Amino acid sequence: MGKKTKKRQEIASAISRPAPASRYGGGTNVHTRAGGGSSFLFGWNPALREPIFDVREGWVGAASRAIDSLQNSGFMSGAVETACGQMIGSGLMLNAKPDPALFGGNEASAEAWAQIAESKFAQWGANPWDCDLGARFTLGQLQDQAVRQYFATGEIVATLPMKKRGDGPALKVNVMPSMRLVQASIMGGPYNQVQGVILGPDHEPIAYAFLNAALVWGIFEQDIVQARTVDGRPVVVHLFTGDPGAVRGITPLAPVLKVVRQIDQLADATLTASLLQTIFAATVESDAPTADVMRALQSDDEQDLEGGQPGDFDNLMKQRFEWYRQTKVDLGNFGKIAHMFPGESLKFNSSMHPNSNYDVFNKSLLREISRCLCVSYESVSNDYSHATYSSVRQASADLWALTIKRRAFYPARMMQMVWESFLEETIETGLLQFPGGVDAFRANRAAACNADWRGPPKPLADDLKAAKAQQILRSEGWVSRDQLCAEYGNDWLEVNRQRAVEKSDDERLGLDPPPNIGGGGQPGDAAKGGEDGEGGAT
């Protein structure tokens, strides 16, 4: 073999050998199976696009399907109801925390001002005539509407217009369906409009295009509403969570819409099969023609009405009648054998639905939906048959952090914007005093509006065990009183004030003080323990 031929063979062999490589997806090419990748990935070639285009194309379909599911599916409606209850309860409670530096560094003055502001805000939010543009709902109900819109469409959309009614603040809250934001996109002008959001040079929202209320009467008109006033007061509330570059949100139910449909189809198919087997409870297995069998099931009068004449099948039935007259069929005696006519058998059918696989498959689908909603499977299915204290506690611990996150991202942000607008107006109109007036407020807006929004406490599987654990944490000094009160949705300062009022009233009426169960609450007390060895709590 010549040197050239041998060289060519070596080159061809090197080319034919696959080069060592490490790739995501097992080296599968996007369009071919080159590289020896998994056959399961072959043909799975989704488009790679920015989130703004994915949301724009999928928003209407996902929102309409999610809304239909929430309106017509009992378990979906109940699951979202549970999620809303855990997130906001009857409405988030304000805990104002202005910076004491705005009050000359005096924390007592800052706390006193916060109490007055909280009181005025609570009175305003409890009256639909004062807080709701439509004068129908309290502030807590408006929060509930907003959270429901989040689950249905992935967005909270509202405006904060000024409409004077009576002597109270003119600020009103107008929660709107998210589809009021127009879907049209206009690119290439001085400002880009993407699905109704008008963007500035840095991709920031500067205005919104709404379909106005005349849409109810079939008149399609648009209103352009600025995102903020020239002084920085928020006018439009548009909250969502999206990937980088997105300007609109999409329903969090989008990943499980197919699963919701599968559950409906599974239930319908199982019910249909069960009904069919129940209706056709008994069958006669016979070699006779179907038409003759059906005619045999008719009475003599029904056959005469159809103009039928007795035929061979009627003669056959007469012979069978004679047979059965000589054969006794008695099901009352155990072990009695019933003899049928030769060639015939009577079969009684029993329903085989739902079968053994139905429950397992249905639970798997419900678990996927509950995970997407950040609600436990037991809460979605109302099935606690296999739940234990440990499993419920672990499920609550896993999902509670997600509930807190959603609470902070959606209803709390909405209420913070409402609180900010409320403070600016009441300070500007003199309904609420502030050091330095409205100019000082606008110059220190973030410090003046600082607040926490408290919601319902974390669900507990066993209140007594949770109380013992909290007692140990408090006695060892690992958590503060503020943290423990926050777990129950309370303000520790308000709790202290209420305790002082109750103590004073007990002393006035000569009542005995409540028993001390906790063992003092000093650091190290828990190590001493009580009779049961758990910090003295019983």
Let me know whether 164 and 78 are in one domain. yes
- Identify whether 134 is part of a domain: yes
End-to-end CA distance of the chain: 96
Final residue in a domain of this structure, among 337, 358, 374 = 337
Let me know whether 171 and 301 are in one domain. no
Q: Is pLDDT at 257 greater than 90 in this prediction?
A: no
Question: 26 or 421: whose pLDDT is higher?
Answer: 421
Rg (CA), the chain: 36
Let me know whether 204 and 313 are in one domain. no
How many folded domains does the chain comprise?
Answer: 3
- Identify whether 7 is part of a domain: no
Quote the percentage of the chain above a pLDDT of 70.
70
pLDDT at 434: 94
Q: Is pLDDT at 123 greater than 70 in this prediction?
A: yes
pTM over the 0.85 mark: no
Let me know whether 445 and 509 are in one domain. no
Burial class of residue 128 (count of CB atoms within 10 Å of its CB; 0-12, 13-18, 19+): middle
Provide the pLDDT confidence category of residue 416 given band limits of 50, 70 and 90. Answer: very high
pLDDT at 325: 66
Q: Average the pLDDT over 493-515 and give the result.
A: 77
* CB atoms near residue 236 (< 10 Å): 21
Q: How far apart are CA 55 and CA 51, in angstroms?
A: 6
Provide the pLDDT confidence category of residue 380 given band limits of 50, 70 and 90. Answer: confident
Let me know whether 326 and 187 are in one domain. no
Domain interval for residue 333: 282-337
Let me know whether 242 and 156 are in one domain. yes
Q: How far apart are CA 88 and CA 407, in angstroms?
A: 7
- Identify whether 247 is part of a domain: yes
Provide the pLDDT confidence category of residue 272 given band limits of 50, 70 and 90. Answer: confident
pLDDT at 8: 66
Provide the pLDDT confidence category of residue 73 given band limits of 50, 70 and 90. Answer: confident
Would you say 446 and 87 are in contact if contact means Cβ atoms under 8 Å apart?
no
Provide the pLDDT confidence category of residue 351 given band limits of 50, 70 and 90. Answer: low
Question: 260 or 23: whose pLDDT is higher?
Answer: 260
Which range has the worst mean pLDDT, 24-33, 213-222, 439-448? 24-33
Q: How far apart are CA 125 and CA 119, in angstroms?
A: 10
What amino acid is encoded at 30 in this protein?
V
> Which of 15-19, 61-65, 304-308 is most confident?
61-65
Query: What mean pLDDT is reported for the chain?
Result: 77
Find the farthest-apart pair of alpha carbons in the chain and give their distance in angstroms, rounded: 118
Q: Average the pLDDT over 409-426 and give the result.
A: 95
Question: 494 or 98: whose pLDDT is higher?
Answer: 98
Which range has the worst mean pLDDT, 124-133, 220-229, 412-421, 453-462? 453-462
- Identify whether 343 is part of a domain: no
What amino acid is encoded at 418 in this protein?
V
Let me know whether 86 and 124 are in one domain. yes
Let me know whether 90 and 166 are in one domain. yes
Cα dihedral sign, 306-310-314-318: positive
> Which of 18-22, 71-75, 91-95 is most confident?
91-95
- Identify whether 264 is part of a domain: no
Q: Can you read off the two tokens belonging to residue 520?
A: 């003092």
Final residue in a domain of this structure, among 398, 418, 451 = 451
What amino acid is encoded at 335 in this protein?
G
Q: How far apart are CA 452 and CA 411, in angstroms?
A: 12
Let me know whether 295 and 217 are in one domain. no
pLDDT at 298: 57
SS (HEC) of 27-90:
HCCCCCCCCCCCHHHCCCCCCCCCHHHHHHHHHHHHHHHHHHHHHHCHHHHHHHHHHHHHHHCC
Let me know whether 506 and 441 are in one domain. no
- Identify whether 372 is part of a domain: no
Final residue in a domain of this structure, among 293, 319, 337 = 337
Question: 33 or 123: whose pLDDT is higher?
Answer: 123
E strand intervals along 212-296: 222-226, 236-239, 282-285
Would you say 193 and 186 are in contact if contact means Cβ atoms under 8 Å apart?
yes
Cα–Cα nearest to 168, from 417, 431, 424: 431
- Identify whether 236 is part of a domain: yes
Q: Average the pLDDT over 292-310 and give the result.
A: 55
Let me know whether 120 and 240 are in one domain. yes
Let me know whether 243 and 320 are in one domain. no
- Identify whether 38 is part of a domain: no
Q: Is pLDDT at 370 greater than 60 in this prediction?
A: yes
